[in-house]
């Protein structure tokens, strides 16, 4: 955690300043928090945000409407994953043992910075260090989550008791938040939460027809988005994709590939295309069960081809939500990598009519909650 603090850009005079501590585990937490911060900025145009995370700066530059300063700091450990479908428990424990209990000198230093900047509130997307910093600085904290790390670690405690120790410590830290907001799909409902909101997704920007035009995809052609969130991923099914010339495929995070067929569009991880817009212009999204992907697919009304993650505690809840809300199929990792899903399930999804979806207002509900508390003398009740 003890890394040099990036100097903030100078906020405008009279700006309402808040801090956001965001888990860098994938891009889902950054996406959710970005949606909340943008909704809050619409209510407080003079707002300036100080973002603390290891999620790349470019992600927020493309996701948040509000002016912000970026501070590169580790705010939690999460799970150490060598790939989007696998976790490494030993490495996770090794990182946790070097991270908790939190470094009090780091907590004090960041708290003093927030005090000097006049920050009025700390928003935490499951990064518990933000709650500790806010408590030390004497300003309110708001926790936004559909699961917390103590809940995740409890599920691994039978495999390694050290996860139980980490879970106990973090559970106490999470319970110190001044306000607690849960977002669907919920992994564990807690009775002390202040409110529960629908899935939170960044709002769309560019019409689907224009996105397709920029990509070079015919407006009426079947279009499939294959995404694994914030993970760089390689795949084994390139030949299988190329054999379906009538279907177009977009694959963010794959980079440039010489073996990609003419119906395959590979994009870098930091593509200029806004990811929610890619979701909306696709007929089917192929992905693991991740929070932000679920929220974006729900908002877009696309179908979901879900890659199962049997070893992840949250996956069972998220997959059940997909089954109940979306046109969907499910596949194992082996089926995914082999490309067998193309013939066994994808054509079925493409043939089914898309459901119309109303845009989620989860982000605006959270923003309204925070705005009301800021107007009420900075008290969180």
Q: Residue 376: is its pLDDT beyond 90?
A: no
Is residue 20 within 8 A of residue 281, CB to CB? The reply is no
Indicate whether 355 pLDDT > 70: no
pLDDT at 199 over 90: yes
Helix (H, G, I), strand (E, B) or coil at 253: coil
Averaged pLDDT, 254-274: 82
Helix, strand, coil percentages (3-state) for the chain, rounded to 5, are 40, 15, 45
CB 126 within 8 A of CB 29: yes
Quick one: fold of 208-351? Answer: Rossmann fold (3.40.50)
Confidence of residue 4 (pLDDT cuts 50, 70, 90): very low
Average pLDDT over residues 73-97: 95
Residues in the chain: 381
Residue 353 pLDDT more than 90?
Answer: no
Identify the residue whose tokens are 């990064």. Answer: 127
Report, as an integer, the average pLDDT of 8-13. Answer: 46
Q: Return the domain boundaries, the chain.
A: 17-201+361-375, 208-351
Tell me the C-alpha distance between 117 and 82, whole Å: 37
Q: pTM for the full model? A: 0.92
DSSP state of 126: B
Span 17-201+361-375: which CATH code? 3.40.50.2000
Task: State how beta strands 195-197 and 48-53 pair.
Answer: unpaired
* β-pair partners for 70: 51
161-187 residue pLDDT tens = 999 999 999 999 999 999 999 999 999
- What SS3 string covers 154-202? HHCCCCCCHHHHHHHHHHHHHCCCCEEEEECCCCCCCCCCCEEECCCCC
Q: What is the dihedral of CA 369, 373, 376, 380, to 10 degrees?
A: 130
For the chain, percent of residues with pLDDT exceeding 70: 90
Bridge partner list, 305: 286, 329
User: Is residue 356 scored above 80 in pLDDT?
Assistant: no
Q: Do domains 17-201+361-375 and 208-351 have the same CATH topology?
A: yes
Q: Is residue 379 pLDDT above 80, yes or no?
A: no
**Which residues are within 8 A (CB) of 267 and not within 5 positions of it... i.e. 6 or more apart?**
250, 251, 252, 253, 254, 273
Closest-CA residue to 306 (of 140, 85, 130): 85
């Amino acid at each position: 955690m003890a890394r040099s603090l990036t100097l903030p850009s100078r906020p405008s005079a009279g700006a309402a300043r808040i801090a956001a501590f965001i888990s860098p585990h994938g891009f889902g937490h950054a996406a959710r928090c970005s949606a909340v911060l943008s909704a809050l900025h619409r209510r407080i145009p003079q707002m300036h945000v100080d973002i603390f995370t290891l999620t790349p700066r470019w992600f927020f530059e493309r996701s948040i409407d509000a002016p912000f300063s970026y501070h590169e700091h580790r705010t939690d450990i999460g799970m150490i994953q060598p790939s989007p479908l696998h976790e490494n428990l030993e490495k996770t424990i090794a990182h946790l043992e070097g991270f908790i209990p939190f470094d009090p000198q780091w907590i004090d230093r960041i708290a003093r910075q927030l005090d000097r900047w006049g920050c009025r509130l700390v928003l935490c997307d499951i990064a518990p260090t933000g709650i500790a910093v806010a408590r030390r600085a004497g300003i309110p904290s708001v926790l936004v989550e559909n699961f917390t790390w103590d809940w995740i670690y409890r599920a691994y405690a039978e495999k390694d008791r050290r996860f139980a120790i980490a879970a106990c410590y973090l559970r106490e830290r999470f319970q110190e938040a001044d306000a607690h907001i849960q977002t669907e799909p919920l992994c564990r409902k807690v009775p002390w939460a202040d409110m529960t909101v629908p899935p939170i997704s960044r709002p769309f920007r560019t019409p689907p027809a224009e996105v397709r035009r920029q990509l070079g995809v015919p407006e009426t052609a079947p279009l499939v988005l294959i995404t694994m969130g914030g993970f760089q991923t390689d795949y084994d099914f390139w030949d299988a994709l190329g054999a379906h010339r009538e279907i177009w495929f977009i694959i963010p995070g794959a980079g440039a590939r010489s073996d990609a067929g003419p119906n395959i569009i590979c994009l870098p991880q930091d593509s200029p295309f806004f990811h929610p817009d890619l979701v909306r212009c696709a007929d089917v999204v192929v992905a693991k069960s991740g929070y932000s992907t679920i929220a974006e697919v729900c908002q877009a009304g696309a179908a979901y081809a879900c890659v199962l993650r049997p070893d992840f505690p949250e996956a069972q809840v998220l997959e059940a939500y997909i089954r109940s809300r979306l046109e969907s199929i499910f596949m194992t990792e082996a089926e995914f990598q082999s490309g067998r899903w193309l013939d066994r399930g994808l054509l079925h999804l493409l043939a089914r009519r898309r459901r119309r979806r109303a845009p989620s207002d989860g982000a605006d509900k959270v923003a309204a909650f925070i705005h009301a508390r800021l107007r009420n003398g900075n008290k969180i009740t």
